[in-house]
Structure 1
């Protein structure tokens, strides 16, 4: 957990004109790099979820769906090292451009991006603006992170972007505007789109280009008074900052901006889901034994072998970080079935989490999990060799059984809690939330050589 300073941190918009000029959001058009639909099997077949959502089985399916699937760029096969993988991705990107598989748009534009999830997934409609957002350390307090990052994933993304010289996938950021940018989005969505496709999960995607001078001015004026919350892409935001700093000696450097999707949540509220942990080297029976040895106010309830009723029990125990609500709750899963874990007592919490931190932060499930369970009771290092982070509940359970480890399933955090902590400059443990729907990767890319 870390804190960052932020003037006027309790407000979403800035009211001081001087502060607006210095700190507001700045989103610029760019020449998008897009797939030629005549050179691929379908646009849906060349897209991918964000890199950190793709599991090994999904990666193979994406690679098999089309030889030009963008997953070959965002998760290049290391041959046999990461550096070789980065060079392979850069060469592949260059080849696809030379062959016309990927083509640059004729003029710079902002892109209105629409997603509509399947009816089975709630039929959610989301629209936002893709553009090149100004990046620098001076913008702390304007672009608000809500999760910590780990050095290794940041270094991986830095190596990939440095080598490919491209923004391969947009970060997902949220803001609250005054309606001018939203009006531009809605007007664009009434036109015929540049592209329309449906991905394998049933989500329909549409994209429009916005290059009209007045539309761009309206967007700039609205965003200049806003700050943004990073909903998805903390490691990639850290990547943007590091690479911008590396190239700070360049005048008008393309590294000063990074591709993002900005969604006005006053118009399109995002959905928040949990991200689960799989402790690959801690068998469930050992996790339970260590809890019994510690004692205290931890309570373990055996819920049997059926996933659905166990997950319903977890949802019913949700606390949302409320100090007056029930205990923190986790569902432990593995070869020994499902077990509901609740606790801790006040003394254990006070010993693990400093009392001067906000109560909402201290009582988050993710805070208790990392500060107390992982560090003190289970003594599991937070690194990829010991902990896997999975968005899908079923995949987490399957991985725990496959590895002989323990899946720790969590309830989602309310968006209001996330925003309130971020506006206080408090970041949550990494991978605490999963906002969505996430933008598909591959619909539009940004080649830094094109600006």
Structure 2
């Protein structure tokens, strides 16, 4: 298989379960500090010892008892609240109706292998993957009641994110959470390769029946998109070796409307059914023929790009319009993309389709080091 090939990661079977775990937490002065990432760098086998030294210096604390954690963080004026726990990845879904976690992008197997190796050497899940779902009213009320009390931890980190954390250990509350999650499905918002690494670790170290292991679980943060939603932004493209005339030819071959307009008009036209493109001098709008359950990024990659008479030799990905426009020139065009809705991404995933690589940008993400999970101290999976 080509090392660059994208593949679909396996599906985790329901019920969706987040298990309590004893968290590791860096002190606030270390959270959001760019230098903190070096604590999780090579040699990975030394990371656990490194963190133990930090614990001895008072730079890392470890909870004595397992808990689920309600983690609220505020960044750039957006407040997100999610439930952090150890995601049960011990079962695989064989039927679409059994799936509990829905990926929407493919993964590079070699990258997933590398991440699995890294986690095994560190004996850590250093950061949670981000999942989104539509939570039940009962679950929202339960978590709102938790958030109504004083947090166990409250601090502003080095990157100016404000964090509030509540440890949930009350058996009755944990039971309500488990009941409400059991029938839910979650979409992976961020962390497809780490999710795939969890599954690879679980397969590598799967124990005998009735003997769960730490790798049967992987750290995850579950966010209710109806309560404190993540912002879903677009990722723009640059097509190297492709001209605006090439784009016109492809659009005409596909029966799509292509019209040159001013920059102001082209940007204003950007929508779920319209792309804006420029070579740095001229601007154009392409009207897409997309169905109700199709994203614009799918139409670009699966129909328009194959129809181009030249290129692209490479495709670049950009989170900002300015970055994309800086790379636009006569034979390298920038294509400004609309953001899909979360519900559209969910429908795509439920239909067993994957979006093209780097199709979504869920923001903001929590800083590294707020909640870490050790693979050396893990609760058993409930049966």
Same-fold call, TM cutoff 0.5: yes
Of 83, 86, 89 in structure 2, the residue corresponding to residue 129 of structure 1 is 83
Match of 1:196 in 2: 154
The 2-side partners of 1:134 and 1:5 are apart by 14
Structure 2: state its 5+ residue gaps: 1-5, 379-383
Match of 1:446 in 2: 373
- Residues 1:394 and 2:322 aligned together: yes
The 2-side partners of 1:254 and 1:32 are apart by 14
State the number of aligned residues.
361
Match of 1:408 in 2: 335
The 2-side partners of 1:405 and 1:93 are apart by 46
The 2-side partners of 1:87 and 1:267 are apart by 39
The 1-side partners of 2:171 and 2:112 are apart by 36
Match of 1:342 in 2: 286
Q: Any conservation in 1 of the 2:277–2:333 contact (CA below 8 Å)?
A: no
Counterpart secondary structure, 1:192 = coil
- Could you report, residue by residue, the CA deviation over 1:111-170 in whole angstroms, capped at 9, with x for unpaired residues? 11112344xxxx433222100010145246111122222334423422322221211111
Q: Any conservation in 2 of the 1:147–1:430 contact (CA below 8 Å)?
A: yes
How far 1:23 moved relative to its partner? 2.2
The 2-side partners of 1:224 and 1:73 are apart by 36
Q: Any conservation in 2 of the 1:274–1:434 contact (CA below 8 Å)?
A: yes
Higher helix share: 1
Q: TM-score, normalised by structure 2?
A: 0.80
Match of 1:179 in 2: 137
Counterpart secondary structure, 1:249 = coil
Match of 1:364 in 2: 295
The 1-side partners of 2:296 and 2:114 are apart by 28
Mapping 1:118-157, distance limit 5 Å: 118=76, 123-136=77-90, 138-139=92-93, 141-157=99-115
Match of 1:318 in 2: 271
Match of 1:432 in 2: 359
The 2-side partners of 1:331 and 1:159 are apart by 41
Q: Any conservation in 1 of the 2:21–2:66 contact (CA below 8 Å)?
A: yes
Counterpart secondary structure, 2:82 = strand
Structure 1: state its 5+ residue gaps: 7-21, 48-61, 77-83, 320-325, 350-358
> Aligned in 2, Cα 1:290/1:86: closer, same or farther, shift over 3 Å?
farther
Q: Any conservation in 2 of the 1:170–1:441 contact (CA below 8 Å)?
A: no
How far 1:302 moved relative to its partner? 5.8
Q: Any conservation in 1 of the 2:9–2:106 contact (CA below 8 Å)?
A: no
Mapping 1:206-225, distance limit 5 Å: 206-225=164-183
- Residues 1:36 and 2:27 aligned together: yes
The 2-side partners of 1:144 and 1:288 are apart by 36
- Could you report, residue by residue, the CA deviation over 1:333-383 in whole angstroms, capped at 9, with x for unpaired residues? 6xx356334146x7xx9xxxxxxxxx345x5221122223444425446xx
The 2-side partners of 1:446 and 1:148 are apart by 25
- Could you report, residue by residue, the CA deviation over 1:11-52 in whole angstroms, capped at 9, with x for unpaired residues? xxxxxxxxxxx7211111111111134xxxx25xx32xxxxx
> Aligned in 2, Cα 1:401/1:178: closer, same or farther, shift over 3 Å?
closer
Counterpart secondary structure, 1:394 = helix
Match of 1:12 in 2: none
- Could you report, residue by residue, the CA deviation over 1:294-353 in whole angstroms, capped at 9, with x for unpaired residues? 57246253645xxxx47xx4353313xxxxxx5x413346xx356334146x7xx9xxxx
The 1-side partners of 2:53 and 2:284 are apart by 52
Q: Any conservation in 1 of the 2:113–2:200 contact (CA below 8 Å)?
A: no
Match of 1:11 in 2: none
Of 168, 171, 186 in structure 1, the residue corresponding to residue 126 of structure 2 is 168
Match of 1:265 in 2: 225
Of 301, 304, 308 in structure 1, the residue corresponding to residue 260 of structure 2 is 301
How far 1:210 moved relative to its partner? 1.0
Match of 2:349 in 1: 422
How far 1:110 moved relative to its partner? 0.7
Q: TM-score, normalised by structure 1?
A: 0.69
The 1-side partners of 2:223 and 2:43 are apart by 32
Counterpart secondary structure, 2:85 = strand
Q: Any conservation in 2 of the 1:367–1:429 contact (CA below 8 Å)?
A: yes
Q: Any conservation in 1 of the 2:27–2:59 contact (CA below 8 Å)?
A: yes
Counterpart secondary structure, 2:92 = helix
> Aligned in 2, Cα 1:298/1:433: closer, same or farther, shift over 3 Å?
same
Match of 1:253 in 2: 213
The 2-side partners of 1:204 and 1:338 are apart by 43
